[in-house]
Amino acid sequence: MKKSLLVLAGLGFALSLNAADLTDTCKSYFSDIDKMVEAYKKAGQEQQVKMYEDQKKQSMDQLAALPKEQQDATCKQAKEMFAQVMDQMKKQGLLK
């Protein structure tokens, strides 16, 4: 799971305004990640949860500052990579 957070940090968390300023693609991306973070919470992985929460606002703000087309392209790529990470984690037995 740590590996997935590192990948996420490299994908979209270098990117941060308000969720209302994000495209639907980006909102969906953050929603997908929020679901994973909930699993971390249930598993007692508080360090990973804190790391994500610390980076989320900044990432959303940076994404919101981008033109909508660039937001969509960035978040679409991030969603695809996130899906690949999740599939890999399932194959390794780290997720159900």
Q: How far is CA 60 from CA 21, 35, 39, 53, 87, in A?
A: 9, 16, 21, 11, 25
19 assigned to some structural domain: no
43 assigned to some structural domain: yes
Domain enclosing residue 44, as ranges? 24-92
> What is the per-residue pLDDT for 5?
52
Which one is predicted more confidently, 75 or 4?
75
33 assigned to some structural domain: yes
Residues 6+ apart with CB under 8 A from 64: 16, 17, 18, 21, 22, 71
Total domain count, the chain: 1
pLDDT digits (tens, 9 = 90+) for 33-85: 898 888 888 888 888 888 888 888 888 889 989 999 999 999 999 999 989 98
17 assigned to some structural domain: no
Question: Does the structure show a pLDDT above 90 at 92?
Answer: no
74 assigned to some structural domain: yes
7 assigned to some structural domain: no
> What is the per-residue pLDDT for 7?
53
Which one is predicted more confidently, 27 or 93?
27
Residues 6+ apart with CB under 8 A from 72: 23, 25, 26
Residues 6+ apart with CB under 8 A from 60: 16, 17, 18, 19, 22, 26, 30
30 assigned to some structural domain: yes
The closest of 82, 21, 86, 32 to 57, measured between CA atoms, is 21
> What is the per-residue pLDDT for 14?
39
> What is the per-residue pLDDT for 17?
39
84 assigned to some structural domain: yes
> What is the per-residue pLDDT for 19?
65
